[in-house]
Amino acid sequence: MALRNPISQLTTRASPATISKLICLPSISSWKQNNAVQSRSFATPVPPVTQDATGSKGPTAMVFMNMGGPSKTDEVGDFLSRLFADGDLIPLGRLQNYLGPLISKRRTPKIMKQYAAIGGGSPIRKWSEYQAAEMCKLLDKLSPETAPHRPYVAFRYANPLTEEMYHKLLADGFGNGKGGRAVAFTQYPQYSCSTTGSSLNELWKWRQRLEGKSAGASDILSSANDGTIKWSVIDRWPVHPGLVDSIALNIEDQLATYPEDVKKDVVLLFSAHSLPMSVVNRAGDPYPAEVAATVYAVMQRLKFSNPYRLVWQSQVGPSAWLGAQTSHTVENYIAKGQKNLVLIPVAFTSDHIETLYELDEEVIGESGHKDTIKRSESLNGSPVFIQALADIAKAHLESGESCSSQMGLRCPGCKSERCAESKKFFAGQEIGRAGAA
């Protein structure tokens, strides 16, 4: 599989501007200025620890949840069949079991070609495993009490699946009467029921199958001391200053490639995966508003240096989706004579088919203006981003919270019993605070 950005080449790919910024780490001080609520101290020196040193509250499993993608083209069929079987992502109601396989089978050859075009598979597994491992190393230093932090990846539609991750957790000595602490850390910065919500429902399902005495609510209260894993959830982090900073740095790198006289008029197009309007309107999914919050925070960090718009990509099928669509927007701006555009992936943190194929090959590749329409890098191996992940995790471990108060609130129009039970389970976990006596 050919990665666009092999991890080993990370430092050679970073621009001089980025490297100097990384060395000086201005991001950390600016996080604090810009965002007193969310910033955390990095400055406290801590004694060196290794992955083998165990703090008073360690070890801690750090489980990165994401949708995943096929690592090889022959995994595309399985990937799509899981994706279209997921009623949280693509609600087909009673027809799910019938229509899901039909649609996925029909789309498989086309999507296989797309994965072939980006090098034979999605890089999301490599990036996720790299990000999780690197974050855990930082976290061992930042939060020695909960060390060692063990990295796990759980994908919703590709290997390693949630089931595989859970079996690994049990084999590694978590649960099975031995208790232990695990953090489900969503890698979607903004919460949607169709992404993070779906991953949590899947995690809850496997937890009940592999650790629950019954699938009912009765075991929730007793789970504190019964030797099962204590779960907590990092369910959203849309404006964490490190996320914002890492996106902004990548935008600045792209802006630096334009001639000085046009630079300030380059239009920034933040592009997020769209949602069907049925999800937005009926259920009141929080995702569009949280994506908008990310975009506004990035523009504040950039001091509104350029005009911008938030647009939405990857719409499929005939029903109404949230827009304006990324591809239409690019076409419309070209028609208006505005050909200096930077596309910015804002809702996924690693490269995947929607950046490498849809944006790079289709939207940019077919625009006729590949020289002036560009894309900012995905966060992938960005050290600023990985530092941000560690900061978010540290704050969570210190908070003693099982999840955000926002996660406990169901969408107004939600009818899913699975969602209700899953939320009740995670919100009901009693978690001790790291740092508390």
Residues at the interface with a copy of itself (CB under 8 A)? 33-38, 238-239, 264, 267, 277, 280-284, 286, 288-293, 295-296, 300, 303-311, 320, 322-325, 328-329, 332-333, 336, 404-406, 408-413
Q: Which helix (H) or strand (E) holds 325?
A: none
What b/e readout covers 387-405, taking b as 16+ CB neighbours within 10 angstroms?
bbbbbbbbbbbbeebbbbe
* Distance of alpha carbon 92 from alpha carbon 247, whole angstroms: 35
What does the block give as tokens for 209?
A: 């199958």
* Distance of alpha carbon 85 from alpha carbon 99, whole angstroms: 9
User: Considering just the CA atoms, what is the radius of gyration of the chain in Å?
Assistant: 21
CB of 432 to a copy of itself, least distance (A): 21
Residues 361, 113: contact at Cβ < 8 Å? no
Nearer to a copy of itself, 71 or 325 (CB): 325
CB of 339 to a copy of itself, least distance (A): 13
Nearer to a copy of itself, 310 or 364 (CB): 310
**Phi, psi at residue 412, to the nearest 5°?**
-55, -40
CB of 358 to a copy of itself, least distance (A): 18
74 a catalytic residue: no
Task: Please list, in sequence order, all residues whose beta carbon lies within 8 angstroms of the beta carbon of residue 274, skipping any fewer than 6 positions away.
Answer: 312, 313, 314, 315, 321, 322, 323, 325
Cis amide bond preceding 184, omega within 30: no
Nearer to a copy of itself, 11 or 281 (CB): 281
- Give whole-number Cα distances, 359 to 177, 302, 339, 377, in Å: 48, 23, 15, 11
Nearer to a copy of itself, 111 or 283 (CB): 283
235 a catalytic residue: no
Among the listed residues 149, 240, 352, 396, the single catalytic one is 240
Nearer to a copy of itself, 171 or 277 (CB): 277
Nearer to a copy of itself, 110 or 336 (CB): 336
CB of 419 to a copy of itself, least distance (A): 12
CB of 179 to a copy of itself, least distance (A): 29
The owner of tokens 């005009």 is 307
Residues 69, 60: contact at Cβ < 8 Å? no
* Distance of alpha carbon 229 from alpha carbon 177, whole angstroms: 9
* Distance of alpha carbon 137 from alpha carbon 57, whole angstroms: 16
Cis amide bond preceding 59, omega within 30: yes
CB of 349 to a copy of itself, least distance (A): 19
Catalytic residue set? 240, 391
